[in-house]
Structure 1
Amino acid sequence: MTAEPSGAPELPIALDAVGGDHGAPPNVAGAVQAAKAGVKVLLVGDQVKLHAELGKHPGAGALPLEVVDAPDVIGMDEHASDVRGRREASINVAAKLVKDGKAAALVSMGHSGATMAASLLTLGRLPGIDRPAILTHLPTRSGAVAVLDVGANADVKASYLAQWAQLASIYLRVVEARENPTVGLLSIGEEDHKGNAVTLEAHALLRAQAELNFYGNVEGGDVFKGTTDIVVTDGFTGNIVLKLAEGEARVLFGWVKDALSGGVLAKLGGLLVRDSLRAVAERMDPSTYGASILLGVRGLSYIGHGSADDRAVKNALLRAARAHESRLIERLSEQLKGTPA
């Protein structure tokens, strides 16, 4: 479950409130829910549309919500490179609010490529980081595993994987209070000599980093066993793992639903296990985490599903607020520079 922040952060969270498959409605509804939980939110987008949507939520005027006008939006079918020439696009305005110190983080359920591009171009990279990576959480037998990269970099160098392992380790210590998290390198076998050229080189780099708790290679099945706290891989493979996991979860629950609706006894059994199945569904629902963090940029940036609902938006905003309260970016910078956090 996503823990709610202990109090409102000093700065609001900038939400790309018109991005995503469904536009403003789920973004505004999620922002209202987050605001009720104490998170200040800047709703970035067409102000006429956003004020109209806010009007559908009684009492929203008394909540810590503010609209920031951004007349343009980069659609889901447009190119990520469009961020360069469209300063008034909502994702660019949201990123600039973070850059200028007017927002603690940006959250977008819109065009993921545009969000990555705007974050990198506007915020820049943390010291010693060549490429940022998207970190997501996948459910395991014992809790959740942090997997990165899941889509930012299809082609990688071994040094990127070593950098991402360091970023993820600091992230889990700072935000999730996991001391000395274990790191696994996704490969086709657990033996040290298994893998392609990049994996073999990355293995050596990871093994050489004394500050990392490197477990060694992990296979695909280890991801969901919870063998390690962190799994690092290239963005091409990681994105396939993520979408395979989400797709398989939907298929499995479809099978269960069909099995429990086949007859009187099956329906009775369904009633008996309903609460347990709901708990399982909660753990497997991507909206529980809301969005994935783009680690490696000099600011907090969260990327969610285009199909996200209001619950996912709310949880993404809560997660961003929690990371800000934890001083994640400052502590990442300090530790990457070699100074104590």
Structure 2
Amino acid sequence: MSLPVALDAMGGDHGAPPNVEGAVQAARAGVPVILVGDRVKLHAELGRHAGSAGLPIEVVEATDVIGMDEHASDVRSRTQASINVASRLVKEGRASAVVSMGHSGATMASALLTLGRIKGVERPAILTHLPAKGGFTTLLDAGANADVKATYYAQWARLASVYLKVVEDRDNPTVGLLSIGEEDHKGSALVLEAHGLLRALHGRGVNFHGNVEGRDIFRNTTDIVVTDGFTGNVVLKLAEGEAKVLFGWVKEALQSSLKSKLGGLLVRGALRGLAERMDPSTYGASLLIGVRGLAFIGHGSADARAVKNALLRAARAHEANLIPRLEAAFTEQQASS
């Protein structure tokens, strides 16, 4: 059996129930899971799912949990927190990846302290998928680094390029640099410096398209868009918020009259498919890319479906040998430079 995925089963706004339910669904789909947290609570929750005793699910005790309103820096002193126990399972080779729907800052801090960085990567980034024309656009950094250096952009472009190639079967993915205009001379001093570094990497592991604007993210102009974590997080939250508002407007419009209600019945199936594509739980969690191990960060409000999809994504990344492939790409770069 393949190596299990460690799930911080106490993390998130709703605690154990959606985490355990998602783990049960993932285990039924063939992904073994280690639930990390309060052993008594987790076994009680597992008992609510018929047939769970026969599934590849293990429980590992963690006596502490870092709450959503606590500080990420608590990770250093609270060694028995569930996120730290889960990260150590990856470090020790007992788990293929760590997944948490809990405190995102604590997850980042724990992964970085426990697993360390890939050699040649100054700062890891949160890599996320945004629904776009024809599929999705990969965006990073989505919130790990508010203050950045130009060199980070170049490293993130390389990381994301390898990720898309080995996990998503995208050959030679294109990279766009988020700016306020497509022209090379547009953007802040930081963006202009990053543009020069990315241009120099073109054809050397990075297929650099040039500058892209905010609207290009949803047009899928490039496979990858790189930006700082402050901007990336604003883009991510804006996209999620706008999607909810738009669906609310559509719902109101379809209920405004009898004729609209009849029309709504006709398009209900199509709208359901559209909602599925725009739902963050479709992708489950975002990858913290650049650390020497697989770490996935999900929404605090995640439901069981999001947890299941996050676990499946983590298993896929492990099966694709993502970490060794990322390390090899940076070793090759250093050898050629």
Q: Same fold (TM over 0.5)?
A: yes
Give the distance between the partners of 1:127 and 1:275, measured in 2 at CA: 48
Letter in 2 for 1:246: E
Query: Aligned partners of 1:141 and 1:115: how far apart in 2?
Result: 31
1:239 is the counterpart of 2:233: yes
* Equivalent in 185, 190, 196 of residue 193 of structure 1: 185
TM-score by length of 2: 0.98
Which residue does 2:144 correspond to in 1?
152
What corresponds to 2:284 in structure 1? 290
Equivalents in 2 of 1:27, 1:15: separation in Å? 8
Residue 329 of structure 2 aligns to which amino acid in structure 1?
Q
1:19-38 aligned at under 5 Å gives the runs 19-38=11-30
2:207 is equivalent to residue 216 of structure 1: no
Q: Does 1:55 align with 2:34?
A: no
Q: State the alpha-carbon separation in 1 of the partners of residues 332 and 265 from structure 2.
A: 55
Alignment match, 1:280 = 274
The reply on whether 1:166 has 2:158 as its aligned counterpart is yes
3-state SS, counterpart of residue 332 of structure 2: coil
Deviations, residues 197-216 of structure 1 (Å, cap 9, x unaligned): 11000000000003211000
> 2:10 matched to which residue of 1?
18
Structure 2 counterpart of 1:96: 88
Please say if 1:302 is aligned against 2:296: yes
- TM-score (ref. length: structure 1): 0.96
What is the DSSP-based 3-state SS (H/G/I as helix, E as strand, rest coil) of the residue aligned with 2:111? helix
Cα deviation, 1:237-264, whole Å, max 9, x if unaligned, reads 0000000000000000000000111121
Give the alignment partner of residue 168 of structure 2, picking from 171, 176, 182: 176
Which amino acid in structure 2 is aligned with residue 183 of structure 1? Answer: V
Deviation at 1:57, TM superposition (A): 0.5
- CA drift of 1:142 comes to 1.5
Cα distance between partner residues in 1 of 2:181 and 2:271:
33
Displacement after TM superposition at 1:22 (Å): 0.2
Paired AA for residue 142 in structure 2: V
Cα deviation digits, residues 181-220 of structure 1 (max 9, x gap): 0000000000000000110000000000032110000001
Aligned-pair CA distance for 1:109:
0.1
Opposite residue 41 of structure 1, the aligned amino acid is V
Report the secondary structure of 1:180's partner residue: coil
Q: Which amino acid aligns with 1:112?
A: S
- Structure 2 gaps, min length 5: none
Q: Given the alignment of the two structures, is residue 111 of structure 1 paired with residue 114 of structure 2, yes or no?
A: no
CA distance in 1, matches of 2:133, 2:170: 17
Give RMSD over aligned pairs: 1.0
Shift of 1:336: 1.2
- Which of these residues, 214, 233, 250, is aligned with residue 256 of structure 1? 250
Distance 1:124 1:23 in 2: 27
Match of residue 4 from structure 1: none
Aligned-pair distance for 1:223?
A: 0.6
2:58 matched to which residue of 1? 66
Please state if 1:77 is matched with 2:69: yes
Shift of 1:303: 0.1
The alignment status of 1:226 with 2:211, answered yes or no, reads no
Q: What is the deviation of 1:49? A: 0.6
